[in-house]
Structure 1
Amino acid sequence: MATTTDPEPDADRPAALSALADVREPSRFPFRTIAMGVVGSLLVLVASFGAAGVLVRDPFIGTGPLSWIRYGHGRALSTALLYAGFGLVVWAWVRLGRYAIAGRIGTRPVLVAALCWMAPLLVAAPLFTRDVFSYLGQGAQLLHGLDPYAYGPAALDTLPDVVQNVHPLWQTTPAPYGPLFLLIAQWIVGITGNNMILGVILTRVVLLAGLAGMLWALPRLVKHLGGRLPVTMWLAVASPMMVIHLVGGPHNDLLMLGFLTIGVLAALERRHLLAVVLVTVGMLIKPTAAIALPFLVWVWANHLPDTESLFKRFVRAVVPSVAAFAAVFVLGTWVSLGSFNLGWVTGLQAPQIIANWLNFPTGVGEIFYALVNLVVDVQASPFVTVARAIAWVGLAAFLVRQWWLSRHGGRDAIFRMALSLLAVAILAPPTLPWYLTWGFVILSAFPWRKLHLAAMVGVSMVLVLVYYPTGEQSLYDWWFIALVIAASLYGAASLLKPDPLGLIAAWRRQPDEQVEPEPVSDERTTPAKH
């Protein structure tokens, strides 16, 4: 089939193509759509040096002729340019989604688009976060003999550029990350030293190993979980959550997700010890991967011969699982830190100092505080504390219930595992936007309804824009949040219908936008019942 640019729907092509047979996928490439995203990504790259997580002391721009982009009108111009670039990336992603849902493109164009959009951001300033500076600061602590689980980066009296770029909130806060990730951060700082620019770039390159693992595992997961591969890749790999947050950020969640997806695949393919080992390694990077482990035990138990009772099969699965987990946990902690230091477990409490309404129980507590404060002058903290305590109880009950309902293993156990990861991200403080990728990436391999995919477009946009490009939250800038919600609703509607409000004149529409996407049959878009 000849390759064309942003193809028209093919009337003879079925509305939904099997994700299991790549040979039947369309070979057409939406070049204009991919190019639109590349232009947007390049704009984000250029603007990031003035509007994103810039260095406190930049050796190139800080005092040079371009320093004006970080102050006054120059800063405002950089910020506007960055949001314009983000808008183009989202627009291109939505168009790409319409093609994938309609069966007009295969998997390869989605991957090409995603990688092309990510490439410029490898050298951008940190986007919508400053977490990467904390990674480097904690790696520098380990490199110079300071326990990052006992002290914050401020205790380090060497590598001043590394320390001063850590966000003030985390200067004196112990690390909440797994020991294996701190070992990786130590290696990075050992190579880049006080050079923060190289440190950020090398961190992104290392974290791409997680993306590579996802790209290898997701096509195979789709075969087990029933999704459509182009849609899965569009949702999990090409989305703003991946391109902007996990790569542009960057965030160590990307590396954890690589181990998690491969581990889940190993469990479904009956390589259960390997699955436990891989997910435990993911936990040593980002501790929340541990949520997946109890669900994988049920998958293992249900792969055993059913001549025995479920209880006996569970025991036969849980004993080697616990043994493998303990061995990897102890060895990984010892190798990473030089001792069996469990300080990283207590370090998980550090992020809880973040309080904003993106975390559902915190938002509920703040609403009750606002209502009571209209009548009586009170402090907000008791309301938030009580709401969080109730949410912890509810979360524990939800996790136990989902685990028990997973006792028959298979796809259902993986589905409930992904829901549990989402529940932890939403109910356990804090909720940071990129945390929701923990569950979304696994869920992307299941079948999706078209309406739910549209909702994901809106959610993805909100989860990027609720933080400013500098990494500071915008959650209480209500006028800005109103604009974010309006834009996100429009983006969601655009997946279902190009230009839903008729804002683009008909004569300026591209040919592919003049025709409704082919409907996806209910059989291929209705998720499996769990």
Structure 2
Amino acid sequence: MPPSASIESAPSSSERTSGVSRLSLSGDQDGRPLPLRTIALGAIGSVLLLFGSLGAGGILLSDPILGDGPLSALRYGHGRYIAMTVLYLGFALLVWAWIRLGRGVLAHLVEARGVLWATGAWLAPMLIAPPLFTRDVYSYLGQGLLALHGMDPYDVGPAMLTGTIPENVHLTWQTTPAPYGPLFIGIAKGVILLSGHSIIANIIAMRLVLLSGLVLLICSLPGLVRHLGGRLPVALWLVAASPMTVVQLVGGPHNDMLMIGMLAAGTLLVLDGRHAGGIAMASAAMAIKATAGLALPFLVWIWASHLEGSLWRRFLHALVPALSVFALVFGGCTVLAKVGLGWLSALSAPGIIVNYLSAPTALGQAVHALASAFGPISIWPFVGTTRLLGSLLLVGILIWNWWQARDGGSEAVRRAAIVLCCGALLSPVLLPWYLSWGLAMGAAFAWTSRGLSYVVGGSIVVILAYYPDGEQAMYNTPFMAVVVAAALLGAASLERFDPLGLRDPMRDLLRPAQRER
């Protein structure tokens, strides 16, 4: 979570000679140089991700581009291993560039415009790449296609249909009802209507629509930083240029990107005193994905803090119009999408996945492993119990933080970010992109460099806990050992230029003498 105070400082002389200051070549509008070499490094990584994804990503079962041509060799045997190698190399370069950029941001050498240039360069190749580290976009399209054919996506799964879209939906979700809100089902229908029958066009169109969420988030960050006390370059580095955004939210793509953008915009509107518009935007975010509903009660406190009177009088005067706005927006989305409220019962659908990234699930797995020593026994009673306890704990955390946020202002936003983080960590299943929920709300606060290093390490681990085709990698113990080591190195590298001590310490000491000659 965002720390309460920042310890960022200007670069020391040792940092300047260690290479942090040599990030740039050309000028920025505020006098700061653009980090061209770092931008280029990440762009190369992103292009390699694009090429590797043609064989190792969430590719189509029958691909009209790869087909039977030369590129089809990337899909099988040694060709696929080469594609995976290229993809992981690209990811490593992207992470390396992100860390270099972060050093420049922390040293006050790179400003917001430099981070935005990096974001654009790194995102561009992802717009045309096959889905990366997931196949969820096929589910999105399948659910939209169901609605387009007059079927209820909250009652049946894409397996009810035939054709290219449903056949590419992951087996886990073939018969699973949609757990997304009515606004997103309407968007999915619109994407298919506008982009026609080409599934590749559908994927690119879905990316572009979801990318509007990132645009909303970026546009909201200057105002959020003004209210919450952070630094705009740091906030942009955290949620716009990060591998979580480039690889997961855009490369995926995932509808969480649209949800967090709308939620950030709604939060800013409420902080600025445009309460009804803010609640409307946050309600629309919940109509994309229910997670946004965790933040809505905190926005009511912010509205109440702008009113006069006693605490409960202010709260009621904010709550009644807030509920009215919510009912109008959410009800309107439901009517326009021509669906019901069946998605609420489908919210548990991701729970069919069992992995140890979720704290409650990991505890249930551990207890089950101990009990299995006495004989074979089903895992579900254990996992079900610990997940229930995790849900109860989340409710307690939500209520306590909501009450602590009663003074509104930045504290209410901070508490909302905490709850969103806990909502991800305590959910029955933790998927990598869930971590973007809390970061989107908390990025505009002041961060310590240590806190940011935790984000770097955590991002590397959760992204690589899945293979590029979307299957789980976390039970591949040797692979995950390498991932954890890389995450620790990445986290340390943000604060230290040479965490392994590989650089010759005499190199920097000799440079002044060499220059004098």
Q: TM-score, normalised by structure 1?
A: 0.89
Q: 1:59 to 1:331 in 2, by over 3 A?
A: same
Q: Counterparts of 1:350 and 1:29 in 2: how far apart (Å)?
A: 45
Q: Verify the 8 A CA contact 1:162 1:194 in the aligned structure 2.
A: no
Which residue of 2 is the match for residue 162 of structure 1? Answer: 165
Unaligned runs of 5+ in 1: 1-7, 16-22, 516-530
Q: Verify the 8 A CA contact 1:178 1:284 in the aligned structure 2.
A: yes
- The answer as to 2:244 corresponding to 1:241 is yes
Q: Counterparts of 1:333 and 1:262 in 2: how far apart (Å)?
A: 21
Matched position secondary structure for 1:90: helix
- The answer as to 2:107 corresponding to 1:99 is no
Q: Counterparts of 1:146 and 1:378 in 2: how far apart (Å)?
A: 39
Task: Read off the aligned partner of 2:356 and give its amino acid letter.
Answer: W
Higher mean alpha-carbon deviation, 427-436 vs 36-45, is at 427-436
Which residue of 2 is the match for residue 314 of structure 1? Answer: 315
Task: Read off the aligned partner of 1:119 and give its amino acid letter.
Answer: A
Q: Counterparts of 1:80 and 1:275 in 2: how far apart (Å)?
A: 45
Matched position secondary structure for 1:374: helix
Q: Verify the 8 A CA contact 1:161 1:194 in the aligned structure 2.
A: no
Q: 1:212 aligns with which of 215, 221, 240?
A: 215
Q: Counterparts of 2:128 and 2:247 in 1: how far apart (Å)?
A: 13
- The answer as to 2:282 corresponding to 1:283 is no
Q: Verify the 8 A CA contact 1:36 1:92 in the aligned structure 2.
A: yes
- The answer as to 2:44 corresponding to 1:39 is yes
Q: Counterparts of 2:378 and 2:388 in 1: how far apart (Å)?
A: 17
Displacement after TM superposition at 1:63 (Å): 1.9
- The answer as to 2:211 corresponding to 1:176 is no
Q: Verify the 8 A CA contact 1:10 1:104 in the aligned structure 2.
A: no
Q: 1:480 to 1:261 in 2, by over 3 A?
A: same
Which residue of 2 is the match for residue 300 of structure 1? Answer: 303
Displacement after TM superposition at 1:426 (Å): 1.1
Displacement after TM superposition at 1:119 (Å): 0.2
Q: Counterparts of 2:64 and 2:316 in 1: how far apart (Å)?
A: 59
Matched position secondary structure for 2:501: coil
Which residue of 1 is the match for residue 347 of structure 2? Answer: 348
Which residue of 1 is the match for residue 62 of structure 2? Answer: 57
Which residue of 1 is the match for residue 23 of structure 2? Answer: none
Q: Deviations over 1:173-201 (max 9, x none)?
A: 10011111111111111133331111111
- The answer as to 2:310 corresponding to 1:331 is no
Displacement after TM superposition at 1:387 (Å): 0.6
Displacement after TM superposition at 1:65 (Å): 2.1
Q: 2:145 aligns with which of 137, 140, 143?
A: 140
Displacement after TM superposition at 1:33 (Å): 0.6
Q: 1:71 to 1:505 in 2, by over 3 A?
A: farther
Displacement after TM superposition at 1:441 (Å): 1.4
Q: Deviations over 1:358-399 (max 9, x none)?
A: 111000010111122123332211111111111111111111
Unaligned runs of 5+ in 2: 1-9, 21-27, 513-517
Which residue of 2 is the match for residue 527 of structure 1? Answer: none
Task: Read off the aligned partner of 1:226 and give its amino acid letter.
Answer: G
Matched position secondary structure for 1:66: helix
Which residue of 1 is the match for residue 515 of structure 2? Answer: none
Task: Read off the aligned partner of 2:85 and give its amino acid letter.
Answer: A
Q: Deviations over 1:177-236 (max 9, x none)?
A: 111111111111113333111111111111111111111100110000000111111111
Q: Counterparts of 2:205 and 2:482 in 1: how far apart (Å)?
A: 35
Q: Counterparts of 1:191 and 1:326 in 2: how far apart (Å)?
A: 29
Displacement after TM superposition at 1:62 (Å): 2.9
Give the number of aligned pairs: 490
Q: Counterparts of 2:223 and 2:29 in 1: how far apart (Å)?
A: 17
Q: Counterparts of 1:401 and 1:10 in 2: how far apart (Å)?
A: 42
Displacement after TM superposition at 1:10 (Å): 8.8
Displacement after TM superposition at 1:502 (Å): 3.3
Which residue of 1 is the match for residue 253 of structure 2? Answer: 250
Q: Counterparts of 1:400 and 1:300 in 2: how far apart (Å)?
A: 18
Question: What percentage of aligned pairs have identical amino acids?
Answer: 49
Q: TM-score, normalised by structure 2?
A: 0.92
Q: Counterparts of 2:174 and 2:367 in 1: how far apart (Å)?
A: 32
Displacement after TM superposition at 1:71 (Å): 0.7
Q: Counterparts of 1:265 and 1:257 in 2: how far apart (Å)?
A: 12
Q: Counterparts of 2:114 and 2:445 in 1: how far apart (Å)?
A: 20
